[in-house]
Structure 1
Amino acid sequence: MQPEQKLDTILKSDFGKFFIVEVEKLIRLIKLPVPPIRSTTHTLIYLTDGEAVMTIGSETYKIFKNECLVVPAGQVYSFSNVDENHGYLCNFHNDIIIGKFGKNELLKDFEFLRVWGNPRISLDKQTSKFVRRLLKRILLDYSENGLMNLDIIQSYFIALLCELNRVYKPVSVSTQTNAVGITNRFRELLVDRIKTSHRVTDYASELNITPNHLNKAVRKITGKSPTKWIDEAIVLEAKVLLYQSSLSISEIATEVGLLDASYFSRLFKKQEGITPLAFRKMIETS
């Protein structure tokens, strides 16, 4: 039996909107490694034991017992390790939050659901106890009824996010709030515009600031220049296409907005240490 067929036994028909599974069961059913893919919904992993390693964007994160990792919708992620762990994995659309008991404004309260938020959330003992109970309750109802009792799942799930939000710590504790705001907006724009906008001036214009102002703000908060962020985003997008499509290398270069395939290959190798073609072969043989 193929992994996809086995997954059908734990995922309900409306899994594109929401699903929750035990991590240890899911890991046994999927083929590793998982090359870079773009998340179209939010993913939340909470560990009750063990550890997990995942690359989100251009950074690699490791979490342990009583910690969460969140992959916001629109972000690129991958993982390769067969980690020994236990816990829960939730995949959810915004509709689960803004349905009967929530409003659009509620999404703004959860910074960890933004592409610039901190993906790692460490929980204290008491919060872990609450979170574990909520996840266990949600899993029970989902396993038995899918989303038939959506009101129940939504109310528990919003409570879960609020518990996580209470212990969430932002990536930057800088008092330079203007620089933080500029950097966050820049990173959100990257997700939407990376296939068409590759110049710092494009993003500075969109943000109504000078390129120099953008450069200083992003460097101050992240330690990397806007150009470095742009190059990394181009390569991330290319890695997704190398895995998910059969496009040629030159076609992928065009797809990410680079008409010069040679330049694209040089940029990719500079970032990854191997050519796009070698990366694709590595995926195919893994």
Structure 2
Amino acid sequence: MSGSSGFSLFKRRNRSIIPGFGLTLGITLTHLTLIVLIPLAALMIRPWDIGLSGFWHQVTEPRVLAALRLSFGAAFVAAAINAVFGLAVAWMLVRYDFWGKRVVDAIVDLPFALPTAVAGIALTSLYAPNGWVGQYLDPLGIKVAYTPLGVVVALTFIGLPFVVRTVQPVLEELDTELEEAAACLGATRFETFIRVIFPVIFPALLTGFALALARAVGEYGSVIFIAGNMPMVSEIAPLLIVIKLEQFNYAGAASVGIAMLILSFIMLLVINLLQRWSRRWAGV
């Protein structure tokens, strides 16, 4: 009896692998409910004051469609640019030693720490027609400030660290012996990168792309200064939400917010499916 009771006691003690699972699960669910689920539920309920037809009318207005198209289009382009150049920056920081490497590594994180409004003012002063950079681009017919191109520049600025910091740890853990083996088998550097390195880092690159995209879609502070905020031209969706709130059109603002939420969810869902496929492709 004592032996069996001791055995059952031993089993009860080892039943839970993670100590405090019930407590941590309760804290997690409570936190997610208060911070995420309840605000999202309030956002979803608000437009029903105007009905489904009113919601559809709000989100299909030409001004709203133009703002959504600019926000998501510019965010996608900026995230794609960051995926390319972020990979290059991460590669340089991991594979090469050079003077000032720590300084460059710290500069990458500046968009995290810099207030978005300050970033917007700085970019506007640089790319305005009389700015340090804009004064040389303007004679060439290239206008950055107060155009959709300025929106892409601002979103690229704030999204770069997400790609670099996501890809960098994967590159650091990558086994260089695989590259040496590929070289011994006669593979060129390009073939080694495409067939050996890229399949391993591609899931991380997609994660960085998704984070940069999600960050760019909802960006407000750094964009409103350089965009010019012209309706149907350079007006972003977050600004349009603020304008509707200032006009006390709460249902309209919530409708635009729901449209952004649905589009963001679809884009992130597609990216997550691509991540699963890329992990299977890489054999991870």
TM over 0.5: no
Q: Which protein is bigger by CA-based radius of gyration?
A: 2
Q: State the structure with bigger RCO (CA 8 A, min sep 6), 1 or 2.
A: 2
- For normalisation by structure 2, the TM-score amounts to 0.23
Greater percentage in helix: 2
